[in-house]
Chain A
Amino acid sequence: MATFWDIIHLLTETPIFFVAIIGLTWGIMGGALPGISASITMALVLPFTYAMDPAQAIALLACVYIGAEYGGSIPAILIRTPGTNSSAATVIDGYELNRQGRAGEALGISLMSGVVGSLFGLAMLILLTEPLSWLALAFTPASYFGLGILGLSVIASMSGGSLIKGLCAATVGLMISTVGTDPISGVTRFTFDIPDLIGGIEPVLVMVGLFALTELMSQSGSVGPAKLNASIRIKLPSWSMMNRLKRSQFIGCILGLFEGLTPGGGGSIAAFMSYNEARRWSKTPHLFGKGSEEGVAAPEAANNTVASTAMIPLLSFGIPSSNSTAVLLGGLLMHGLIPGPRLFEQSAQVIDSIYVGSFIAIIAQIGVGIIILPACIWLVNRPRHYRAGFIFALILSGIYTLNNSLFDLGIALGLGVVGYLMRLARFPVLPMILGVVLGHMVESSYRRSLVLSGGDLRVFLEDPIAVALLSLALVFIIFSLAREIRDARKAKLKEAHS
């Protein structure tokens, strides 16, 4: 581990400070643009790192990753468009706070919760890389199945008062996830000989269609949002507010730590689960979905924690747990650095640069946020007739960027209609998004497990991680159903009294 003098040397003799700030700013900008995911933002900067010193290059990529994970929350709060998949859960209460004229407060909470999550993740990365890295290797297909089911278990509490409608939406989401190539046999399903469908429908298209386009369509012709933001200033949470948010941030950090170590989710599962758990443990669960500060803090702490902890299996074993860490792996290999225990011994300066660069980026996030966020709030407070066109153009430009495909634009527009009809019929959209995000993981891991066990279902009971995750999922479902029944009874009693 780096000594104090190593850190001083890094700060004074190398351009790590500027590298961190540039990486962070670039990452926030990329993450804030719909369609430009954290991995694309990193991939765009990758060629520029070729001529850089390896330590600075990898630190730059790590800082871009941190910035992009945070940046995704900005459009989620301001225009109901998650900039990255993992910021989808932030939309629920973040956008609601914006509608109430509290955008500055929501962005401040998201910023500080992101900083808390990132610092926690970095501490875990520095202190626990070795002891925690075993978990990444212990994951079998059966464990992944357990993880997917655990993610799906939150559907019950995200159904907005109608479990049947929530389950319908989740089933349709799972159906969407089956479009494309079958994970086991390679046979194409529901592609109708359209080449653009062979790779499946990207979750971001579903999110943009169901969240952003639906919102734009629903607001069409209205005078303006529920309440315009009177001030464009960022309101950082006070000490007392941070004290109120500590429970939800803690939940986000723990779930983010867990998911960062487990390949596949990319922060989405942690964000949705932490939202669900924050509501369960909150003193004001009724505020969730109506503009709860904790509803912003928990998912933001979670997905920012993942940005750091996802580097644990990458640096220890070279296992990329998400697309973004795969780009980081590409950066390491491009500079002749082989991840693994020897990386820590032979290229200590690279590791130190990642730690120091990440720390600078996390702290600088507050300053950069305070500078750029007021401009973002100002932009979304422009008159509706101009704002709608600008947001629509931004969304369509971002979607096209994904695969340079006009077909993707058509899919997103079609899903906009679906989302609008769902809104009219009062169907919740979140279960559908969860279905799309987790469908592939659940199906492929279930079938792989059975292939490996020769069709023996006991494989799910013999894997301790799978057993733990499936049991947890069962507990979550029972608690959620009990709460739904209790709330429904309360509502009936209230109705009877009135």
Chain B
Amino acid sequence: MNKDLLSGAALLAVAGTYYTWSTQIADSTLSDEIGADGLPKVLSVLLAILAACLIGRALLAVRLHAVAATTGKADEEEEDENAPLPRALGFLLFGAAYVFLLPFVGYIVATALLIGGIALYEGAQRRSWIVPAAAIGGAVFYWAIFVKLLGVNQPMGSIFQGLF
């Protein structure tokens, strides 16, 4: 399916959902003429119109492409330099795991696991001593910057709080 057609449909869904939510915004006696739901409603209608334009344009392009294909003038698809979706989402899963683990294992352990995990995911040699060294060194370095130097609190980890 054409990417523009798909994204137009997705945006139409976003506009619909956003409009539904904006009808649920509570009324207030302090409100002005426009109200808290005024702009959200305008934006959802605007997005719906733009999404419809995008879909219309995509359908027109599909039709023109089909005509061009029969006459042998179809353009080739542009090469996509981005990582495939599963690979990219896999990368992001490390971040999700970090968010999940941070309150339990604390900043240093979670950061070391993140750096080490990503290094292996991105192709570092599994038996190399550099991976654990970089992971631990990196975590301690960031801890020194954020916690010690800048005085920013990072989670200590419920596991360690129980131990000490």
Contact = CB atoms under 8 A, between A and B. Distances in A.
B89 interface: yes
Contacts of A178: 39-40, 43
A386 B134 contact: yes
A286 to B, nearest CB: 18
A186 B32 CA distance: 11
Contacts of A420: 82, 85, 88
- Residue from B26, B44, B50, B54 having most chain A Cβ neighbours under 10 A: B50
Interface residues of B, number: 78
Nearest to B115: A389
Contacts of A14: none
Interface stretch (A110-118, A150-158, A214-222, A238-246): A214-222
B33 A424 contact: no
B40 A189 contact: yes
Contacts of A187: 25-28, 31, 36
Nearest to B82: A218
Contact of A447 (B21, B32, B145): B32
Given A425-B7, A447-B34, A219 B47 contact: no
Given A178-B39, A187-B25, A390-B115, A413 B33 contact: no
Q: Describe B's contact surface by its main secondary structure.
A: helix
Interface residues of A, number: 63
Contacts of B124: 383, 385-386
Nearest to A391: B118
B85 A424 contact: yes
A455 interface: yes
A219 B83 contact: yes
A89 interface: no
Interface stretch (A130-138, A257-265, A321-329, A395-403): A395-403
A351 to B, nearest CB: 30
Contact of A36 (B90, B102, B150): B150
A389 B91 contact: no
A171 interface: yes
A484 interface: no
Contacts, number: 193
B153 interface: yes
Nearest to A412: B95
Contact of B83 (A189, A220, A400): A220
A190 B116 CA distance: 37
Contact of B80 (A175, A190, A424, A443): A424
A115 B116 CA distance: 39
B103 interface: yes
B157 interface: no
Interface in B93-126: 94-96, 98-99, 102-103, 107, 111, 114-124
B3 interface: yes
Interface string B126-154: 00001000110011001001100011111
B127 to A, nearest CB: 14
Nearest to B153: A404
Contacts of A190: 21-22, 25, 40
14 contacts: A172-B14, A174-B43, A178-B39, A182-B31, A185-B36, A189-B37, A220-B90, A385-B123, A386-B124, A388-B119, A396-B114, A397-B142, A410-B99, A447-B38
- The 3 closest A-B CB pairs, nearest first, are A389-B118, A385-B122, A182-B36
Interface of B: 3-4, 6-7, 11, 14, 18, 21-22, 25-28, 30-40, 43-44, 46-47, 50-51, 53-54, 57, 80-85, 87-92, 94-96, 98-99, 102-103, 107, 111, 114-124, 130, 134-135, 138-139, 142, 145-146, 150-154
